Structure 1
Amino acid sequence: MPTAFELPTDADGVIRGNIFFARQPAQGVIILAHGYKGFKDWGMFPYAASQLSENHHVLTFNFSHNGVGEDLQTFSELEKFAVNTYSRELEDLALLLAYVNTQFELKGLPVYLIGHSRGAGVSLVYALDHPEQIAGVLSWNGVTNLDLFTPEQKEEMRTHGRSHVTNARTNQQMPLDVSILEDLEKYKERYAIIDRLASSSLRVALFQGTEDSQRLQDGSAALVRVRPDIPWHQIAGGNHTFNTVHPFQETTPQLEQVITETLGQIAVWRY
């Protein structure tokens, strides 16, 4: 069973997470970051973390302002979601890395970031900012462009201070404060993932379903054009969540493939 933890943040938030301790002597630490409108207990994540923890300590967590509250299942903190900037998520990752260092005697154990969707983009920026901390980033159907907002949403943010995005699963109208757009524009160069990776030696691997959105596939293609050394693992027939749903029903061939190939990629990097 995983061990729960909570980390208070400076911005009146709480990072709630779980540690899946390695069942064999640990060869590293994996931090699994959820994406936009996601959370640590969504569908596939607990199962994936359990499978990845054969010989790695694995941490899952909710970003402090992802909108999911103490019940860990519902978006009950929409006012926090409204101001969940990328800067906040990067600060959350910094707190999480500090926590990892206090919980585990790393003694050279590598730390890997696995990010799904938006979580991959944030993980890449963090690793680019702190290459000495991160041994590699593994992107699961990840974004390479952090600007996820439509022109209409941006206009509403600028004109009215707030827009909304629909959660297709819950039908909630989730608020987006203009501070998110201001953060995106203020740190435009910091968030330019493809440009920064073009001149970086950061270890990155892409894992993408062939049925993932065209926008994300195009972003991956743009990344591997500037970094041909980055492996791009194609998951045949896989959609954005590798054919899993929430609540989690059962694993899928696509999820099993991404887990197996993720561990295989880490093993290649290790040796």
Structure 2
Amino acid sequence: MIIKNKVLINNVIEKPIVMDVGLKSDNKPKPIVIFAHGFKGFKDWGHFNEVMDFFITNECVFLKFNFSHNGGTVEQPIDFPDLDAFGKNTITKELNDVSSVLDWIHTTEELPKEELDINDITLIGHSRGGGIAMLAASIDVRIKRIITWAAISDFESRLPSDLSEWKAKGVVYIENARTKQQMPMYYSFVEDLFANKNKYKIENAIKKANQPHLIIHGDSDLTVNVEEAKQLNEWNKNADLKIITGANHTFDVSHPHQEEQLSEAAKKVLTYSLAFIKKMV
């Protein structure tokens, strides 16, 4: 029997976290897979529902969630109705969200305990979510392995070289190419990053973390260059690196996902990821 639940984690400090949880019930403990979306992303983007079905079918407990300040709401978790929250997002907030999801897994009574192997938790992150996954793994031993899809290798290098105007105005706006929204980013993001400069440096995190790590990247990624994946692999030579020829930043999937089949690149990502999880069990 397939069990799928919509879950709401009410944070005391932050906005709620909206999450989907699914598993195939067979009264046996299963590895747990948590998926973290990237910048301007959300849990229902593109093919992420198919990703969930894939892992459930292959006997994993799967959780995908919206970061509390990704711009979505409880009522409208798709797209970005709450641009003010989007603008107030920080790395610290996203790390706190990951910790809250892990806390929920360890304490929930909404899922049968016998179905969960809480000692086998994989964190998957796409794009900026991959950066968050690497930081989280360096500080939280509950994460047993990490898989990064088209992940960034650094946060600071993505900031403008001249921050004076951003600091003076307190906000910059980024256009969403799909929705055409002008999406704010408040200077608090920069302040948070600089206040935790060493802690939030991905190079430091990946060298500190000792969990098994699978790096997957497309060599036609125009958003995060494949050289960043190679750099991650240089910092952790024990990581597994899979480069998918011809694949773009979203592994040749767009939103909304209307095709009947996943792209070949997306299929490879799932196959590599599942094999990595299963060989480590």
Give the TM-score normalised by the residue count of structure 2.
Answer: 0.90
Q: Deviations over 1:89-139 (max 9, x none)?
A: 111111110111123534554000000000111111111011x20111100
Q: Partner of 2:268 in structure 1?
A: 257
Q: Distance in 2 between matches of 1:9 and 1:161?
A: 26
Verify the 8 A CA contact 1:121 1:143 in the aligned structure 2: yes
- Greater alpha carbon shift after TM alignment, 211-220 vs 248-257: 211-220
Unaligned runs of 5+ in 1: none
Q: Deviations over 1:128-176 (max 9, x none)?
A: 011x201111001111212333335x33321111111111111111001
Q: Partner of 1:95 in structure 2?
A: 100
Verify the 8 A CA contact 1:26 1:55 in the aligned structure 2: no
Verify the 8 A CA contact 1:26 1:57 in the aligned structure 2: no
From the superposition, tell whether residues 6 and 200 of structure 1 become closer, same or farther in structure 2 (CA, over 3 Å): closer
Q: Partner of 2:236 in structure 1?
A: 227
Query: Per-residue deviation at 1:195?
Result: 2.5
Verify the 8 A CA contact 1:157 1:176 in the aligned structure 2: no
Verify the 8 A CA contact 2:119 2:142 in the aligned structure 1: no
Amino acid at match of 2:60: H
Amino acid at match of 1:263: L
From the superposition, tell whether residues 167 and 26 of structure 1 become closer, same or farther in structure 2 (CA, over 3 Å): farther
Q: Distance in 2 between matches of 1:253 and 1:144?
A: 25
Q: Deviations over 1:62-88 (max 9, x none)?
A: 001000122222311000001100100
Q: Partner of 2:69 in structure 1?
A: 65
Amino acid at match of 1:42: W
- Greater alpha carbon shift after TM alignment, 56-65 vs 225-234: 225-234
Q: Partner of 2:39 in structure 1?
A: 36
Verify the 8 A CA contact 2:125 2:149 in the aligned structure 1: yes
Query: Per-residue deviation at 1:267?
Result: 1.6
Deviant stretches of 4+, over 6 Å: none
Whether 2:91 is the aligned partner of 1:81: answer no
Q: Distance in 2 between matches of 1:150 and 1:98?
A: 35
From the superposition, tell whether residues 200 and 5 of structure 1 become closer, same or farther in structure 2 (CA, over 3 Å): closer
SS in 2 for 1:110: strand
Q: Distance in 1 between matches of 2:231 and 2:191?
A: 25
Q: Partner of 1:166 in structure 2?
A: 175
Query: Per-residue deviation at 1:236?
Result: 2.0
Verify the 8 A CA contact 2:247 2:265 in the aligned structure 1: yes
RMSD: 1.7
From the superposition, tell whether residues 58 and 84 of structure 1 become closer, same or farther in structure 2 (CA, over 3 Å): same
Q: Distance in 2 between matches of 1:269 and 1:260?
A: 14
Aligned residue among 169, 179, 183 for 2:188: 179
Whether 2:118 is the aligned partner of 1:123: answer no
Query: Per-residue deviation at 1:27?
Result: 2.5
SS in 2 for 1:94: helix
Verify the 8 A CA contact 1:157 1:181 in the aligned structure 2: no
- Greater alpha carbon shift after TM alignment, 210-219 vs 160-169: 210-219
Unaligned runs of 5+ in 2: none
- Greater alpha carbon shift after TM alignment, 91-100 vs 213-222: 213-222
Verify the 8 A CA contact 2:126 2:150 in the aligned structure 1: yes
Amino acid at match of 2:101: L
SS in 2 for 1:2: strand
Give the TM-score normalised by the residue count of structure 1.
Answer: 0.93
- Greater alpha carbon shift after TM alignment, 81-90 vs 205-214: 205-214
